[in-house]
Chain A
Amino acid sequence: NAGVMQNPRHLVRRRGQEARLRCSPMKGHSHVYWYRQLPEEGLKFMVYLQKENIIDESGMPKERFSAEFPKEGPSILRIQQVVRGDSAAYFCASSPRADSYNEQFFGPGTRLTVL
Protein backbone atom coordinates (compact mmCIF):
# COMPACT_ATOMS: atom_id res chain seq x y z
CA ASN A 1 0.00 0.00 0.00
CA ALA A 2 1.78 3.11 -1.22
CA GLY A 3 1.87 6.06 1.10
CA VAL A 4 0.60 9.55 0.41
CA MET A 5 2.13 10.82 -2.80
CA GLN A 6 2.76 14.42 -3.69
CA ASN A 7 4.10 15.92 -6.86
CA PRO A 8 6.07 17.71 -7.82
CA ARG A 9 8.53 17.47 -4.95
CA HIS A 10 10.08 20.80 -5.89
CA LEU A 11 8.43 23.60 -7.84
CA VAL A 12 9.93 26.90 -8.91
CA ARG A 13 7.69 29.70 -10.11
CA ARG A 14 8.19 33.35 -10.95
CA ARG A 15 6.02 35.97 -9.31
CA GLY A 16 2.62 36.15 -10.97
CA GLN A 17 2.61 32.57 -12.25
CA GLU A 18 0.32 29.79 -11.09
CA ALA A 19 1.36 26.84 -8.94
CA ARG A 20 -0.50 23.52 -8.94
CA LEU A 21 0.32 21.00 -6.25
CA ARG A 22 -1.02 17.47 -6.39
CA CYS A 23 -1.73 14.96 -3.68
CA SER A 24 -2.78 11.33 -4.03
CA PRO A 25 -4.03 9.98 -0.69
CA MET A 26 -3.36 6.50 0.56
CA LYS A 27 -5.59 3.82 -0.91
CA GLY A 28 -8.91 3.74 0.88
CA HIS A 29 -8.51 7.21 2.39
CA SER A 30 -11.20 9.71 1.50
CA HIS A 31 -10.12 12.56 3.79
CA VAL A 32 -7.38 14.94 2.65
CA TYR A 33 -5.72 17.80 4.52
CA TRP A 34 -3.33 20.46 3.29
CA TYR A 35 -0.80 22.17 5.55
CA ARG A 36 1.80 24.85 4.87
CA GLN A 37 5.19 25.07 6.56
CA LEU A 38 7.02 28.35 6.28
CA PRO A 39 10.80 28.25 6.77
CA GLU A 40 11.75 27.54 10.38
CA GLU A 41 8.10 27.26 11.46
CA GLY A 42 5.61 24.55 12.31
CA LEU A 43 2.87 23.33 10.03
CA LYS A 44 -0.28 25.42 9.68
CA PHE A 45 -3.58 23.92 8.65
CA MET A 46 -5.01 25.21 5.39
CA VAL A 47 -7.94 23.09 4.25
CA TYR A 48 -9.72 19.78 4.83
CA LEU A 49 -11.52 18.04 1.99
CA GLN A 50 -13.49 14.90 1.40
CA LYS A 51 -14.31 13.64 -2.06
CA GLU A 52 -15.90 16.54 -3.97
CA ASN A 53 -16.45 18.57 -0.80
CA ILE A 54 -14.55 21.22 1.12
CA ILE A 55 -15.22 20.58 4.80
CA ASP A 56 -13.06 23.20 6.50
CA GLU A 57 -11.11 25.93 4.71
CA SER A 58 -10.56 28.14 7.73
CA GLY A 59 -6.78 28.19 7.16
CA MET A 60 -6.86 29.12 3.50
CA PRO A 61 -5.98 32.66 2.46
CA LYS A 62 -9.09 34.31 1.08
CA GLU A 63 -7.54 35.21 -2.27
CA ARG A 64 -5.46 33.34 -4.83
CA PHE A 65 -5.67 29.95 -3.07
CA SER A 66 -8.11 27.17 -3.92
CA ALA A 67 -8.32 23.45 -3.34
CA GLU A 68 -10.31 20.59 -4.77
CA PHE A 69 -10.60 16.86 -4.35
CA PRO A 70 -12.54 15.50 -7.33
CA LYS A 71 -14.35 12.20 -7.47
CA GLU A 72 -11.56 10.80 -9.61
CA GLY A 73 -7.93 11.82 -9.40
CA PRO A 74 -5.71 13.58 -6.91
CA SER A 75 -6.43 16.53 -4.70
CA ILE A 76 -5.12 19.79 -6.13
CA LEU A 77 -3.96 22.89 -4.26
CA ARG A 78 -3.85 25.82 -6.65
CA ILE A 79 -2.11 29.10 -6.00
CA GLN A 80 -2.72 31.84 -8.54
CA GLN A 81 -0.43 34.81 -9.09
CA VAL A 82 2.19 33.57 -6.69
CA VAL A 83 4.18 35.99 -4.54
CA ARG A 84 7.49 35.51 -2.72
CA GLY A 85 5.65 34.99 0.57
CA ASP A 86 4.07 31.83 -0.86
CA SER A 87 7.49 30.13 -0.79
CA ALA A 88 7.06 27.27 1.65
CA ALA A 89 6.72 23.51 1.95
CA TYR A 90 3.18 22.31 1.34
CA PHE A 91 2.23 19.02 2.92
CA CYS A 92 -0.73 16.87 2.22
CA ALA A 93 -2.08 14.29 4.67
CA SER A 94 -4.81 11.71 4.37
CA SER A 95 -6.87 9.67 6.78
CA PRO A 96 -9.45 6.91 6.39
CA ARG A 97 -11.98 8.59 8.64
CA ALA A 98 -12.63 11.73 10.62
CA ASP A 99 -13.09 11.14 14.29
CA SER A 100 -11.45 12.13 17.50
CA TYR A 101 -8.44 9.89 16.82
CA ASN A 102 -7.82 11.17 13.29
CA GLU A 103 -4.41 9.71 12.53
CA GLN A 104 -3.18 11.57 9.50
CA PHE A 105 -0.53 10.14 7.18
CA PHE A 106 1.70 12.73 5.60
CA GLY A 107 3.21 12.95 2.15
CA PRO A 108 6.80 14.08 1.52
CA GLY A 109 5.71 17.61 0.68
CA THR A 110 6.11 19.99 -2.25
CA ARG A 111 8.68 22.70 -1.78
CA LEU A 112 7.57 25.80 -3.63
CA THR A 113 10.10 28.51 -4.40
CA VAL A 114 8.88 31.78 -5.85
CA LEU A 115 11.54 33.85 -7.58
Chain B
Amino acid sequence: GEDVEQSLFLSVREGDSSVINCTYTDSSSTYLYWYKQEPGAGLQLLTYIFSNMDMKQDQRLTVLLNKKDKHLSLRIADTQTGDSAIYFCAEVYNTDKLIFGTGTRLQVFP
Protein backbone atom coordinates (compact mmCIF):
# COMPACT_ATOMS: atom_id res chain seq x y z
CA GLY B 1 0.00 0.00 0.00
CA GLU B 2 0.88 3.66 -0.14
CA ASP B 3 1.94 5.15 3.15
CA VAL B 4 4.41 7.92 3.95
CA GLU B 5 5.14 8.74 7.57
CA GLN B 6 6.75 11.67 9.30
CA SER B 7 7.14 12.85 12.85
CA LEU B 8 4.63 15.59 13.63
CA PHE B 9 6.67 18.28 15.35
CA LEU B 10 10.20 19.61 15.51
CA SER B 11 11.38 22.57 17.52
CA VAL B 12 14.87 24.06 17.06
CA ARG B 13 16.79 27.14 18.06
CA GLU B 14 17.67 29.69 15.42
CA GLY B 15 21.09 28.92 13.95
CA ASP B 16 20.95 25.20 14.73
CA SER B 17 20.43 22.47 12.15
CA SER B 18 17.03 20.85 11.66
CA VAL B 19 16.59 17.27 10.53
CA ILE B 20 13.18 16.12 9.33
CA ASN B 21 12.68 12.42 8.74
CA CYS B 22 10.34 10.47 6.51
CA THR B 23 9.70 6.80 5.74
CA TYR B 24 7.94 5.65 2.60
CA THR B 25 6.65 2.34 1.31
CA ASP B 26 6.72 2.29 -2.49
CA SER B 27 10.14 0.96 -3.45
CA SER B 28 9.45 1.68 -7.12
CA SER B 29 9.33 5.46 -6.56
CA THR B 30 11.93 7.06 -8.78
CA TYR B 31 11.73 10.54 -7.31
CA LEU B 32 11.13 11.75 -3.79
CA TYR B 33 10.30 15.35 -2.92
CA TRP B 34 10.30 17.80 -0.08
CA TYR B 35 7.63 20.51 -0.03
CA LYS B 36 7.21 23.47 2.32
CA GLN B 37 3.83 24.88 3.33
CA GLU B 38 3.55 28.19 5.14
CA PRO B 39 0.36 29.07 7.04
CA GLY B 40 -2.59 29.60 4.71
CA ALA B 41 -0.50 29.02 1.61
CA GLY B 42 0.00 26.36 -1.02
CA LEU B 43 2.95 24.01 -1.33
CA GLN B 44 6.35 25.11 -2.51
CA LEU B 45 8.75 22.52 -3.90
CA LEU B 46 12.01 22.78 -1.97
CA THR B 47 14.07 20.00 -3.45
CA TYR B 48 13.91 16.47 -4.79
CA ILE B 49 16.16 13.46 -5.06
CA PHE B 50 16.35 10.75 -7.68
CA SER B 51 16.23 7.24 -6.29
CA ASN B 52 19.66 6.25 -7.58
CA MET B 53 21.25 8.98 -5.46
CA ASP B 54 21.91 8.76 -1.75
CA MET B 55 22.61 12.41 -1.11
CA LYS B 56 21.81 15.77 -2.66
CA GLN B 57 22.92 19.17 -1.42
CA ASP B 58 21.29 22.45 -2.39
CA GLN B 59 22.58 25.48 -0.46
CA ARG B 60 21.34 25.07 3.13
CA LEU B 61 19.39 21.92 2.28
CA THR B 62 20.78 18.37 2.33
CA VAL B 63 18.65 15.40 1.39
CA LEU B 64 19.72 11.90 2.40
CA LEU B 65 18.12 8.79 0.96
CA ASN B 66 18.48 5.29 2.36
CA LYS B 67 16.72 3.20 -0.23
CA LYS B 68 17.24 -0.08 1.62
CA ASP B 69 15.40 1.24 4.68
CA LYS B 70 13.07 3.48 2.61
CA HIS B 71 14.12 6.42 4.73
CA LEU B 72 14.43 9.99 3.55
CA SER B 73 15.64 12.99 5.52
CA LEU B 74 15.90 16.73 5.00
CA ARG B 75 18.56 18.68 6.85
CA ILE B 76 18.31 22.46 7.02
CA ALA B 77 21.56 24.11 8.08
CA ASP B 78 21.58 27.37 10.03
CA THR B 79 17.81 27.28 10.54
CA GLN B 80 16.13 30.69 10.49
CA THR B 81 12.76 31.87 11.81
CA GLY B 82 11.60 32.14 8.21
CA ASP B 83 12.01 28.36 7.94
CA SER B 84 9.11 27.86 10.35
CA ALA B 85 6.50 25.97 8.34
CA ILE B 86 5.12 22.51 7.71
CA TYR B 87 7.39 20.25 5.66
CA PHE B 88 5.99 17.39 3.60
CA CYS B 89 7.87 14.57 1.98
CA ALA B 90 6.20 12.99 -1.04
CA GLU B 91 6.77 10.10 -3.39
CA VAL B 92 5.50 9.60 -6.90
CA TYR B 93 3.12 6.67 -7.20
CA ASN B 94 2.27 5.13 -10.57
CA THR B 95 3.94 8.12 -12.28
CA ASP B 96 0.88 10.25 -11.66
CA LYS B 97 -0.11 11.03 -8.14
CA LEU B 98 2.01 12.26 -5.28
CA ILE B 99 1.65 10.47 -1.97
CA PHE B 100 2.33 12.91 0.84
CA GLY B 101 3.49 12.34 4.35
CA THR B 102 1.55 13.68 7.30
CA GLY B 103 3.80 16.74 7.50
CA THR B 104 6.28 17.89 10.12
CA ARG B 105 5.62 21.24 11.75
CA LEU B 106 8.96 22.98 12.25
CA GLN B 107 9.07 25.72 14.85
CA VAL B 108 12.18 27.88 15.08
CA PHE B 109 12.67 29.94 18.20
CA PRO B 110 15.20 32.73 18.81
Contact = CB atoms under 8 A, between A and B. Distances in A.
A107 B42 CA distance: 6
A43 B45 contact: no
Chain A interface size, as a band, is: 20 to 34
Contacts of B99: 45
Contact of B103 (A42, A91, A98, A106): A42
B60 to A, nearest CB: 21
Interface residues of B, number: 23
Contacts, number: 65
Interface of B: 4, 30-31, 33, 35, 41-45, 48, 88, 92, 94-103
30 contacts: A4-B42, A33-B97, A33-B98, A35-B98, A35-B100, A41-B103, A42-B101, A42-B102, A42-B103, A43-B43, A43-B88, A43-B98, A43-B100, A44-B100, A56-B94, A91-B42, A93-B43, A98-B95, A98-B96, A100-B92, A101-B92, A102-B92, A102-B95, A102-B98, A103-B45, A104-B45, A105-B45, A106-B42, A108-B41, A109-B41
Interface of A: 4, 33, 35, 41-45, 48, 55-56, 58-59, 91, 93, 98-109
